Amino acid sequence: MAMTSKLLSRCHMPDGNLREIFSCYSDDATGTIQLDATGQDLRNVGLKGTDTSTTAAAIGTAIDVATGIATLSGMIADVALTGVSGGAVGGQTFTGTGGVIGRVVSGDANFQAQTMIVNVSGTTITVDRPLLGAIAAATMNSHVVLVVDYAK
């Protein structure tokens, strides 16, 4: 259940409620995130997870009101790309089949952390971060945008 999360924004809404938006990167079908529940009534929390891929499956969300741990489920875990090869230092394309726009790609030391597929054209896969070298293998995982609403 490994998942890394990055807080993208935290703001108070016009109605006085608090909203947080996270970018979550998972390498399994489920993952957890510890919410900062300081001063918040966790019985009144709304969670909405959206997979950024074009083939987005429904992301399940649940929260343990005693601990503030939110669980996301229904994510894509380690789907291998086939025919992977190529690319060069500083480039942003490599060869492979089965790529899905919006998925995080990893599985080779020449991908930067949290590299995302942004285009697929035939067997050419384009990512959003420069490669560190030639790619020999790749797997895809979910990237989920999680919106947390704390209602008063």
CA distance 101 to 113: 17
Nearest to 50 by CA among 145, 151, 149, 147: 145
- Residue 71, pLDDT > 70, answer yes
Q: What angle do CA 152, 50, 113 make, to 5 degrees?
A: 110
pLDDT, tens digit (0-9, with 9 covering 90-100), for 44-61: 999 999 988 866 567 899
CA distance 125 to 14: 42
- Residue 138, pLDDT > 50, answer yes
Least confident of 39-48, 98-107, 127-136: 39-48
Query: pLDDT band at 1, cuts 50/70/90?
Result: very low
